[in-house]
A and B are shown apart, each in its own frame.
Chain A
């Protein structure tokens, strides 16, 4: 097992002087060294620590647009810290699910972030960062969140769980489809390879003028629109859900965690920031794939990453400000559009236009 693995890496070392960039794209066996691992961990912690900031920024933008003074951008850090200090109030009908579900939900987002590249080409779990795995890990988090909602025997919890699955049944297929379209478009299955391929292809085409049918602006753009719709629905944003109210008519996501308190609520909230960051990061990489390939490009890549995230935050806040809350049974109309757009992206990328 180990011998065959090392053989692959030796072979790569042997053919290091690439004459053509295309060879470099096609031959992507994972070749881990300690540098990749360390930067992968650093990247993970940077994203995890930044994620409440993005959520806070969106919140602040929304409030300013409504003419309110707005919260501190760092408010969500303070909230998290405060929630940790509070006691946990459990329902007397609660079972073991209530004790484990918050952790599993949070950890599944963490695992996804461990696979995701943001500003460095490799991530810590990059070797196993399969796109379908990421989509199904998101489903795992939904599964436990809805079980948590139903655990206390509250009517709101059942309502939230029902609506959450209603959304997930519609948005999860589009998410899987977007990811598989990316995989087919780039002929790569791992998310790190996918974005590296897009980055290489784009730089080949637009910087060096290498003509290639495999590169296109249109298909990533289509996937971006589709993913934007999905991320609005998955992250409980306004045209579909309104997390700021506690009115049962508007609740999707919030009804699930209505019974949570103390540290459980804290990690649920933090988890929702992480989920938002996952989607924003994938969108940022589709929008403008720029990841550091070596250690010297990291500061530049980090700055570009944060800029892209800020642009996307403004975009999401804009959508939230402009639109009113949608009726529940009008949601399938929007989500079916995202599904069909990703389907179109897939069939257009098949021929390798």
Chain B
């Protein structure tokens, strides 16, 4: 199955509840067979996107196309999509196999075929032994898998998952992430996964669509979003980041300088033509990840500045230092992440340090 054909296209889709707009004309293409995660803080409209696609709510304007055909007004029970609801929405009066077979039995499929497909689906989610249990007799993770089996047995073109892991504890959530991803690879169905948890998004998605306040801010692979965020919101929201405000300077090849409170910094602008084209003096941020920031001994490297360690936090495999840098009038708080050492860090709070990051590990975002 090719990942380059579009399965579903949203064109300037808007949604308002009464007079309150929640989606402002978004455009989005979902590729056939991909695992697309819609990521955003609460109130960003991410769940609304899913509900509109699933047909749980009508759009206010715009259109949704499936294989090029407008399905905006197709009723929910005719859409070839199935949803895994946040609270699972299992039917409490039916057994596990009753729940899983529901989508087939309402289509009047023969009982024999239902039984064999239910058995197959339950094997896929490793719940074969629980076929005759009721939902109330299952754990959270098991209910989750029943909900998944119930959705995928209908062989939908697209499976919509609405924060399905939110109610699970951390360890179970990690297991379910891997499990979902492996099932998606196995059945090769397109998954649209909504979450506010960026760790979840990074771990599972082929592509991530970051939403905020009813707009799509950026759509790209986790790698692109992490290393080439296209706006301040994504840079701050997606992963830990250091942002230092400044004014754009000159372009030199694939790099551009920026004048900041920490002095003149140089960052990469490769593959980001809009940053090359932005006028000199425009407001922008230099952004560099905590793990890109290094303790530098040499004074001749690029992007070099001094600071003071304000705090050290041991976090298992890594240690995070909070650093104050720059002049007192415009002090910047930066984070530096380094691998932990068994004999402890040589650093102490209050100690002055000199810091740097490599230009290709820094990037720019327009303010």
Are chains A and B native binding partners rather than an unrelated pairing? no
Which of B's residues lie within 8 Å of A, judged by CB? none
